[in-house]
């Protein structure tokens, strides 16, 4: 039927004559409008480097620039869409690894970012500052050791002053040191260092930040698959990550009435300086090969989870633990 010929549809012809509907005229150009091409899909199996990796070792805390291959934090790949426009974030361990990826993503989503790091990591920190400022956002680098309670309080105060407020807190910095002998190899000194860095600092920083976090703010803690499936070489580290999960869930309940959401991200193997500074070169070579996706995550692959949890998209999400484990999560 010719669509311009209404004689074949008496009811429609009468409606057009009465001015109740408009005639539809289809042209060849309109009917031939090209459809959008489907996106090109890539298998996650080959998306990033997989083991065996080059045998390598660095002294703690290590530098991103000396890793082979160099981790991908989203420097070239992450594209923002304004999800965090006008927000103000403090990230611990923001110079490298997951913290660096979160800092880049937050800035590209429109947030200003303050971040803590150890003074030895200054070369990595300078790169992060440049990446944040390249997006037209404010960068506030804050060097120091979060094992010290006084510094933790100063960290929050400096972030609030530098950013003009605070509405996103990411407790991400962590320390581990693998011990092949298991419990026998863990000294009291190491045990104390791991807990001070991973648990005490989270407690001090979050508590200090409470007075500054308004309704709608978000706290995000970095846990680990180690909280649920601990390795024999990381006994003390795994304990701290289990504590972080518990802390997240209980604090989420206590802050819900204030409108502050608290969640955690539990990664599996992630390619960061933490790996090449705390594991044997032999372990590094095979790192991440035992998960279903057969490779470690790149930090950039975790950034979208942090963005989601910080954004209004997650307004009904609190007290949750999000696994990014390459298929190995026992949640």
pLDDT in tens, the chain (331 residues): 444 454 456 555 554 455 555 555 445 554 566 788 888 899 999 999 999 999 999 999 999 999 999 999 999 999 999 999 999 999 999 999 999 999 999 999 999 999 999 999 999 999 999 999 999 999 999 999 999 999 999 999 999 999 999 999 999 999 999 999 999 999 999 999 999 999 999 999 999 999 999 999 999 999 999 999 999 999 999 999 999 999 999 999 999 999 999 999 999 999 999 999 999 999 999 999 999 999 999 999 999 999 999 999 999 999 999 999 999 977 6
Residue 7: predicted pLDDT: 47
Options 200, 228, 237, 308, the catalytic residue: 237
In a domain, 303, yes or no: yes
For residue 58, which of 321, 280, 287 has the smallest C-alpha distance?
A: 280
Structural domain that includes position 242: 81-324
Residue 330: predicted pLDDT: 74
For residue 262, which of 190, 179, 206, 198 has the smallest C-alpha distance?
A: 206
In a domain, 25, yes or no: no
- Judge whether 200 counts as a catalytic residue: no
For residue 173, which of 108, 91, 244 has the smallest C-alpha distance?
A: 91
Residue 32: predicted pLDDT: 62
Query: Domain count of the chain?
Result: 1
Residue 200 structure tokens? 């005490």
Residue 145: predicted pLDDT: 98
In a domain, 44, yes or no: no
Q: Give the whole-angstrom CA distance, residue 245 versus residue 223.
A: 6
Residue 231 structure tokens? 């390795």
Q: How many CB atoms lie within 10 A of CB 18?
A: 8
* CATH number of residue 92's parent domain: 3.40.50.720
Supply the angle between the helices 235-255 and 201-209 in degrees, to the nearest 10.
20
| CA max distance for the chain | 92
In a domain, 299, yes or no: yes
In a domain, 69, yes or no: no
Residue 52 structure tokens? 């065996």
In a domain, 70, yes or no: no
Reported pTM: 0.89
In a domain, 280, yes or no: yes
In a domain, 137, yes or no: yes
Residue 75 structure tokens? 């420097």
């Amino acid at each position: 039927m010719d669509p311009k010929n209404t004689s074949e549809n008496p009811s429609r012809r009468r409606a057009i004559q009465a001015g109740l509907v408009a005639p539809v005229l289809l042209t060849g150009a309109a009917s031939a409008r090209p459809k959008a091409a489907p996106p090109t899909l890539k298998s996650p199996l080959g998306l990033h480097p997989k083991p065996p990796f080059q045998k390598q070792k660095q002294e703690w805390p290590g530098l991103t620039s000396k890793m082979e291959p160099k981790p991908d934090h989203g420097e070239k790949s992450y594209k923002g869409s304004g999800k965090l426009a006008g927000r103000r974030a403090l990230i611990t361990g923001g110079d490298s690894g997951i913290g660096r990826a979160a800092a880049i993503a937050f800035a590209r989503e429109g947030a200003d970012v303050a971040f803590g790091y150890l003074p030895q990591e200054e070369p990595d920190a300078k790169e992060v500052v440049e990446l944040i400022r390249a997006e037209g956002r404010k960068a506030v680098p804050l060097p120091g050791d979060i094992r010290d309670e006084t510094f933790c309080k100063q960290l929050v105060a400096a972030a609030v002053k530098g950013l003009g407020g605070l509405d996103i807190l990411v407790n991400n910095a962590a320390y581990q040191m693998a011990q092949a002998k298991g419990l026998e190899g863990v000294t009291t000194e190491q045990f104390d260092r791991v807990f001070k860095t991973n648990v005490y600092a989270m407690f001090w920083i979050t508590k200090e930040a409470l007075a500054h976090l308004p309704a709608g703010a978000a706290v995000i803690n970095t846990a680990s698959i180690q909280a649920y499936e601990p390795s024999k070489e990381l006994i003390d580290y795994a304990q701290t990550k289990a504590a972080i999960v518990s802390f997240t869930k209980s604090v989420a309940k206590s802050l819900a009435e204030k409108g502050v959401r608290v969640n955690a991200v539990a990664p599996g193997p992630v390619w960061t300086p933490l790996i090449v500074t705390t594991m044997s070169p032999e372990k590094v070579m095979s790192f991440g090969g035992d998960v279903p996706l057969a490779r470690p995550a790149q930090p950039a692959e975790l950034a979208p989870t942090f963005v989601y949890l910080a954004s209004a998209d997650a307004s009904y999400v609190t007290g949750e633990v999000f696994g990014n484990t390459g298929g190995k999560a026992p949640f």
